[in-house]
Structures are given as C-alpha cells and as structure tokens.
Amino acid sequence: MAIRNIRQEGDEILKKKSKEIEVVDDKIRELMNDMVETMHKYDGVGLAAVQVGILKRVIVIDLYDGKPILKLANPVVLKTKGTQKVEEGCLSFPNKFVEVERPNEVTVEGINENGDKVKITGTGLLAQALLHEIDHLNGIVLTDVMLPGTMQYLDQNNGK
C-alpha cells in the first residue's frame, strides 16, 4: 500500500467526470487500499479516486464507527429521502468548511472490492459522505454545492 498525493483546490482534474470501472481486479483493489491509507493519513472520512489523480469511479469511506470500510466502484444513487443541513469539509480543500444541504438518507448501488454488486442505504453522516464522494466522481466539488455565504476557514494558528 502507498500514500497517494491528494489533488488540491484549483487542480483541473477535480472538475472532470470519472470513467466507469469494467472489472474490479487486483489493480483496482490496490487503488482502493492506497486510497484508504491516504484517507486515514489525512484524517478523512471519504476519498474519491479523482482526488488522487485517477479518473476512475472508485470511492472509499470510513466513518470510524467500527463497521467495515466501504470500498465501492461505479457507485450510483438510486434514491434519496429527507434533507439535512450539515457542515462539510474536503481533503482537496484543506481547512475550508461549508454548509450544504443534502438528503438525510440515500440508497446507492455499486460494486464492492470483491466484484460483487451491492446496495447500501445510509443515513446522516454516511449519506453525506456517499453523496460527497459521488459528487467528486461527477466533477462536482465542495464549492459547487455550498450554500451561499457559508465558506468558513479554519484558522490554523488557533484551531478555530
């Protein structure tokens, strides 16, 4: 496994649409594992392959809740329900946080690391993370979905 470089705000690749995976093979599993290691190094909850410069429809999510890490290829939103206003950050936009409105529940279908088709329903933070990472696969970034006037910067000097 390896730590990959995270593409930052302003990098043109972040605005590009990622391509579907034909098959989850050892190369894709290696990418997924590298993405998990990278996400953990930078204390992220989720990461999309485009954020490490790979235009493939692959995401990983870890809510640090004792449940298995989610590794998905070709995730597609099947349905959403409800709404929630939440503060959201992004590893590609370090120290920036915005308020967004997202569905409170989402059902997503994709292919897991074993190549099996899976359907996942998530609420709260899982719904938020799934939608955030799928946005990345479609070239949509944090500043595209923020509610007007809500960008907040974390002051690195005093942690606020």
- pLDDT value at 14 more than 80: yes
The confidence band for 154, taking pLDDT boundaries of 50, 70 and 90, is: low
List pLDDT tens digits, range 97-149: 999 999 999 999 999 999 999 999 999 999 999 999 999 999 999 989 988 87
Confidence of residue 159 (pLDDT cuts 50, 70, 90): very low
Closest by CA to 151, choosing from 102, 71, 65, 90, is 90
- Identified catalytic residue from 87, 99, 109, 133: 133
Task: Give the pTM.
Answer: 0.92
Contact 91, 133 (CB under 8 A): no
9-25 mean pLDDT: 97
| 30: annotated active-site residue | no
Structural domains present in the chain: 12-153 (3.90.45.10)
Coil, helix or strand for 32? helix
Q: In three state form, how does the secondary structure of 118-156 look?
A: EEEEEEHHHHHHHHHHHHHHCCCCHHHHCCCCCCEECCC
Average pLDDT over residues 11-27: 97
| Assigned token pair, 24 | 């989850």
